[in-house]
Amino acid sequence: MPRAGLSTAAVVDAALAHVDKKGVEALTLAAVAEHTGVAAPSLYKHVRNLAELRRLLAVRALEEITGRLASAVMGRSGDDAVGALMRAWRAYASEHPNRYSMLPPDPLADPVLAEPGRRMLEVALAVLRGYGLGGAAAIHATRSIRAAMHGFASLEAAGGFGLSEDLDLSYDQLCEMVTAGLRRLAEANSPS
């Protein structure tokens, strides 16, 4: 009989709390069981194994960051939307570095992660429609924006910016560089 109140969602919540506190590398079923107050075999009623739990955590992280991105860009367009998207991405990575590290590099390749991955992609594509970009041009632009956001967030999380200059100003400059590039791309792709 499953413990009252314990569900797959509760197991994921407990695992996320553990990851937030101890890091992804410390995630084990035994640690999650201890956090939930059950024996490790009891978790198998809710998740098949550690690999499935990690995928469920990745789904949750994708859903969380996508929600943040969608809220940030709502009612905005063009440079304002891209700046909001980029700042929301960095904020999530800064607030939840361990969860952020669980975001898969290619969620669309995994059937469990594909749907939340598509929702995240749709947010970016909607923003790029404000520049008149669609099709292959929008995919290339999305990849570029993602590389810029992820690169900065990953370096920041790893302590890769040791110089004293203000990181917020550096990120603002990155946002300006990205939006300037998008404007040029939009001009190049506009029908003449």
- Provide the pLDDT confidence category of residue 4 given band limits of 50, 70 and 90: low
- Any long-range contacts for 46-49 (C-beta under 8 Å, 24+ apart)? 46/2, 46/6, 46/7, 46/8, 46/10, 46/11, 47/8, 47/11
Distance CA 24, CA 186 (A): 40
14/2: higher pLDDT: 14
The answer to whether residue 1 scores a pLDDT higher than 60 is: no
The answer to whether residue 167 scores a pLDDT higher than 70 is: yes
- Provide the pLDDT confidence category of residue 21 given band limits of 50, 70 and 90: very high
pLDDT at 184: 96
pLDDT at 124: 97
Range with the largest mean pLDDT of 25-29, 39-43, 123-127: 123-127
Calculate the alpha carbon distances from 42 to 37, 55, 117 in Å: 10, 19, 30
The answer to whether residue 2 scores a pLDDT higher than 80 is: no
pLDDT at 144: 97
Phi/psi for 185 (5° steps) reads: -65, -40
pLDDT at 192: 66
Q: What is the pLDDT of residues 82-103, one digit of tens each?
A: 999 999 999 999 999 999 999 9
Q: Does the global pTM surpass 0.95?
A: no
The helix or strand, by DSSP H or E, that contains position 105, with its residue range, turns out to be none
Q: What is the pLDDT of residues 98-141, one digit of tens each?
A: 999 999 999 999 999 999 999 999 999 999 999 999 999 999 99
Domains and CATH numbers, the chain: 1-47 (1.10.10.60), 57-189 (1.10.357.10)
Cβ neighbours for 61, distance < 8 A, ≥ 6 positions apart: 96, 99, 100, 102, 103
pLDDT at 43: 86
For the residues 42-46, what does the mean pLDDT come to?
86
Q: Where are the alpha helices (DSSP H) in the chain?
A: 8-22, 29-36, 40-43, 50-73, 78-95, 97-100, 114-129, 135-157, 167-189
Torsion of CA 68, 74, 80, 85, to 10 degrees: 20
- Tracing tokens 């009612």 back to the chain, one arrives at 75
